[in-house]
Amino acid sequence: MPDLGPHAVFIVAAYAVTFIAIAALAFFIVEDDRRQRGLLAGLEKRGIKRRSPQADNKPASKPKRKRS
């Protein structure tokens, strides 16, 4: 391990806190994804479908701007 000098404890602690924070965020994202997929599956079982635009629909046009 390289010599980190007198601040070694602070440097290692900063890396540890960062690693724990990123791991916690990844865990919560995965858990939320599972929960959302479960909720969606439950809705689809009850017959509630997702509403998506039809393939033949044209994209919404931009509103016209007034010229002054």
Give pLDDT tens digits for 9-18.
999 999 999 9
Instruction: Encode pLDDT of 16-39 as tens digits.
Output: 999 999 999 999 999 999 999 999
What single DSSP character describes residue 3? Answer: -
CA dihedral sign, ordered 7, 8, 13, 14: positive
pLDDT at 55: 57
- Whether the CB-CB separation of 38 and 30 falls below 8 Å is answered with no
- Cα–Cα distances in angstroms (integers) from residue 3 to residues 8, 9, 11, 14, 19, in the given order: 8, 11, 11, 16, 21
- Whether the CB-CB separation of 4 and 11 falls below 8 Å is answered with yes
